[in-house]
A and B are shown apart, each in its own frame.
Chain A
Amino acid sequence: MNKRKGTVFLVDDDADTRASLEEALEEVGFIVLPARHGKEAIARMKGCLPPAIAIVDLVMPDMDGWTLIQRMKSDRDLEKIPVIVLSGKVLRSKVEGAARVFEKPFQLDEVLRTVESLCVL
């Protein structure tokens, strides 16, 4: 087993994508805290130590990704957490507050490399 590298918050309403990403992140040494939507993510983040990084889908029920990122950026405990966005929509503009945006379907290796590089910072 790899040495634990940090905690990743994974917020995506698609259970299958979430499960595969969770397994992949765990296999490279991260602890993963999954959430199905923004509201659940905020509740979970408040109840534990801030994660090293958050991976956030945009279109979700019960608080979408844009609102979640906005909430995180206006919260002193969460504002510094880097956010990676996974988007099912083709985006033609920047997502405010996101360190990196991946369009779905994404290259898994590239997402994992980005998570690792952002966690080192």
Chain B
Amino acid sequence: MSPAEFLASGLDEGEPALVIVTPDHRAALQSDLVRMGHDVERVTFLDAETMLETFMVDGEPSWEAFQSSIGTALRALANGSGRRVRAYAELVDLLWMKGNPSAAIRVEAMWQELSSKSGFAVARLRREDFVERKLELFAGILAHDLRNPLTAMLTAAQLLMRRSQDEGNIKPLRRILSSGERMTRMIDQLLDFTRVRSAAGVPIVRRFGDLAEVARQVIDECEMIHTHRLIDLQTSGDTCGDWDLDRLAQALSNLVSNAVQHGRADEPVRVTLDGTSPDVVRINVHNAGAIDARVLPRLFDPFRTTQEKREGTQGLGLGLFITREIVTGHGGEIRVESLRDRGTTFAVVLPRTSR
């Protein structure tokens, strides 16, 4: 819902409206409301910068001053009638843009406090979405900018590794490199996550190729890391298609690593590629472990493992979220089945071409 739609629906109900915005947005909102057939005279407009000055003291919002300025404006509109007042304000946005996130969060809390204690109802357009978007943008920028210092660190460590003959030095250098590689994977996942959430989606660049080759490469790499684990690959039929092979390698790598990480060590991980259907290739990744039934419905949610920290989990909890995005970006589907006696299977159905 846009701010204009939010205000218009209140005006339709006969609710008074308070709008606290910058002059540019005031003009845009007024023109939107007029276009929607509303009388802008019924809306009280206040300037956001001026209102900020009424309650900000030394860079911090004062609750008393906030009540006095914003509360008074709302009370005047409610006019003792107990009517609901519709309010749209950019105070939180402005504070974010001014680089004062702690004040933005406090003002958000003050709005909620005012709404619950003021004796009249205040309808507000939710700002959480805005805050979330800002955080995603921030994560994307941060992840991108981390690449340069990380590259400098890892290149220096690799240079030392090339020079070193001493096992006493090589061991800690290996630890630096392996941690750096883990950070790289997290950065890549954060960038993918912000791309997905910014509605751009994971970019898919298709070219013709064989999924079996991709799977073999992914399994080889995984076996190099987990030398004691067996990963079995079985293919049947034609496993070729028009896909983003790098992205599918990323998805398969997530599924196989997950299976190795959470499966039973005494049982092999089984990867099967079924290319017997003319239109789709089916991928199954199976391990003998079982996933807690309570976790299953949220398995593909982002940042899940950071909330439910499990032993052996080293990532941000974005792997399965991104895997699903890659599969759906190809027009495919992914589902998971997990039973104590049968183990866990991730089943992917992948159309051979973009339909």
Known: A14-B152, A93-B205. A105 touches B184 (CB 8 A): yes
Category for how many chain B residues contact A: 20 to 34
Bound CA–CA A107/B180 (angstroms): 12
Is A24's CB within 8 Å of the partner chain B? yes
Is A27's CB within 8 Å of the partner chain B? yes
Bound CA–CA A20/B153 (angstroms): 9
B149–A20 CB distance below 8 A = no
Given the complex, which residues of A lie within 8 Å of B294, measured CB to CB? none
Is A108's CB within 8 Å of the partner chain B? yes
Given the complex, which residues of A lie within 8 Å of B109, measured CB to CB? none
Is B162's CB within 8 Å of the partner chain A? yes
A23, A88, A89, A92: the one within 8 Å of B151 (CB): A88
Known: A93-B205, A105-B184. A23 touches B159 (CB 8 A): yes
A92–B144 CB distance below 8 A = no
Given the complex, which residues of A lie within 8 Å of B203, measured CB to CB? 92
- Nearest CB to that of A108 among chain B residues? B158
A92–B205 CB distance below 8 A = yes
Is B44's CB within 8 Å of the partner chain A? no
A90–B188 CB distance below 8 A = yes
Bound CA–CA A7/B226 (angstroms): 40
B158–A14 CB distance below 8 A = no
Bound CA–CA A99/B159 (angstroms): 24
The interface residues of chain B, by DSSP majority, are classed as helix
Q: Which of B152-196 contact A (CB under 8 A)?
A: 152-156, 158-159, 162-163, 180, 184, 188, 191
A10-27 interface mask toward B, CB cutoff 8 Å, 1 = contact, 0 = none?
000010110011011001
> What number of A-B contacts does a CB cutoff of 8 Å give?
57
- Nearest CB to that of A14 among chain B residues? B148
B151–A109 CB distance below 8 A = no
B158–A107 CB distance below 8 A = yes
A90, A93, A105: the one within 8 Å of B155 (CB): A105
B159–A20 CB distance below 8 A = yes
A90–B148 CB distance below 8 A = no
Given the complex, which residues of A lie within 8 Å of B149, measured CB to CB? 14, 16
- Nearest CB to that of B146 among chain A residues? A88
Q: Which of B148, B149, B151 has the most CB of A within 10 A?
A: B151
Taking the closest CB of chain A, its distance from the CB of B237, in whole angstroms, is: 29
Given the complex, which residues of B lie within 8 Å of A109, measured CB to CB? 158, 162
B151–A108 CB distance below 8 A = no
Is B147's CB within 8 Å of the partner chain A? yes
A64-104 interface mask toward B, CB cutoff 8 Å, 1 = contact, 0 = none?
00000000000000000000001011101100000000001
B162–A24 CB distance below 8 A = yes
- Nearest CB to that of A28 among chain B residues? B162
B205–A106 CB distance below 8 A = no
B158–A16 CB distance below 8 A = no
Bound CA–CA A24/B156 (angstroms): 9
What would be 18 A-B contacts, judged by CB atoms less than 8 Å apart? A14-B148, A16-B152, A20-B152, A21-B155, A24-B159, A88-B148, A88-B151, A92-B203, A104-B150, A104-B151, A105-B147, A105-B154, A105-B180, A106-B151, A106-B155, A108-B155, A109-B158, A109-B162
Chain B residues near A (Cβ < 8 Å) = 144, 147-156, 158-159, 162-163, 180, 184, 188, 191, 203, 205
**Besides A105-B184, A107-B158, 5 other CB < 8 A contacts?**
A16-B149, A16-B152, A24-B162, A104-B148, A105-B147
